[in-house]
């Protein structure tokens, strides 16, 4: 019944034209990365208002939302989990983390990953460094979404100036074949470079022969034009 109530709240905000656009934008066609996903056309600001309305949902109810075939329902669940994780005590954060990892097949598009994994996964592992093995395992997954979770979760470490996890996971994923992973790797390298540009330059120089061009372009976005040109020519 809770899932139906949340869906009804989202449907009040749905727009068929937005649904059509989002179906294309998130590549839901046959053979594409979001194949089979269903959008009802709720934009993110409106969806966040629904998530705020249901911010106190139990994890059992959140799990029901994650099981939905509707993208906005799963995104709403991820936002609720994220906001809960920010305020959670150790026990509740672990429960959120466990649910997130167990149902990672429902965290199955880049927007759902990117809005949630930093606080839920990165935040938990930052407080429990022995759980870095979880990121390493996810980075080896056959699932593109688990690999993206591994990469983007290191953003939490970047925020506090701990760059080792980002460079380690990025190095592990340099040979990934998917463009969405190239973008994620480059994005996190760029964020790490804001903290330590010299270390980013060293990393790029060491791996210039193997780093995907898209990842490189993302990583060097904040360099001046001459330096961007230098690295692109090296590649």
Per-residue pLDDT tens over the stretch 147-193: 999 999 999 999 999 999 999 999 999 999 999 999 999 999 999 99
Is the Cβ–Cβ distance between 95 and 59 less than 8 Å? yes
The partner residues of 70 in beta bridges, in order of sequence, read: 38
What integer pLDDT is reported at residue 64 of this predicted model?
97
Spatial CB neighbours of 125, under 8 Å, sequence gap ≥ 6:
131, 132, 134, 135, 153, 156
Domain 1-129 falls under CATH 3.10.20.30: no
Give 10-residue mean pLDDT values along the chain (235 residues). Answer: 94 97 95 96 97 97 97 98 97 98 97 98 96 97 98 98 98 97 98 98 97 98 96 90
All structural domains of the chain with their residue ranges: 1-129, 154-235
**Predicted local distance difference test score (pLDDT) of residue 158:** 98
Q: pTM, whole model, 2 decimals? A: 0.96
């Amino acid at each position: 019944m809770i899932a139906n109530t949340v869906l009804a709240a989202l449907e009040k905000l749905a727009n068929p034209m937005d649904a059509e656009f989002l179906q294309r934008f998130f590549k839901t066609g046959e053979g594409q990365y979001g194949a089979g996903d269903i959008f009802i056309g709720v934009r993110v600001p409106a969806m966040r208002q629904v998530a705020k309305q249901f911010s106190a949902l139990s994890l059992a109810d959140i799990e029901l939302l994650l099981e939905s075939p509707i993208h906005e329902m799963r995104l709403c669940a991820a936002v609720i989990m994220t906001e809960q994780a920010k305020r959670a005590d150790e026990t509740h954060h672990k429960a959120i983390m466990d649910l997130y990892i167990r149902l990672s097949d429902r965290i199955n598009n880049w927007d759902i990953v990117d809005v949630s994994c930093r606080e839920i996964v990165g935040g938990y592992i930052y407080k429990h460094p022995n759980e870095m093995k979880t990121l390493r395992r996810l980075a080896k997954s056959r699932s593109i979404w688990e690999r993206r979770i591994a990469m983007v979760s290191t953003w939490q470490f970047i925020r506090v100036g701990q760059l080792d996890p980002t460079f380690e996971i990025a190095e592990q994923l340099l040979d990934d074949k998917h463009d969405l992973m190239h973008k994620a790797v480059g994005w996190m390298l760029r964020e790490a470079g804001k903290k330590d540009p010299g270390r980013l330059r060293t990393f790029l120089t060491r791996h210039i022969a193997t780093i995907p061009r898209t990842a490189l372009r993302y990583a060097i976005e904040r360099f001046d034009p001459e330096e961007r040109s230098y690295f692109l020519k090296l590649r």
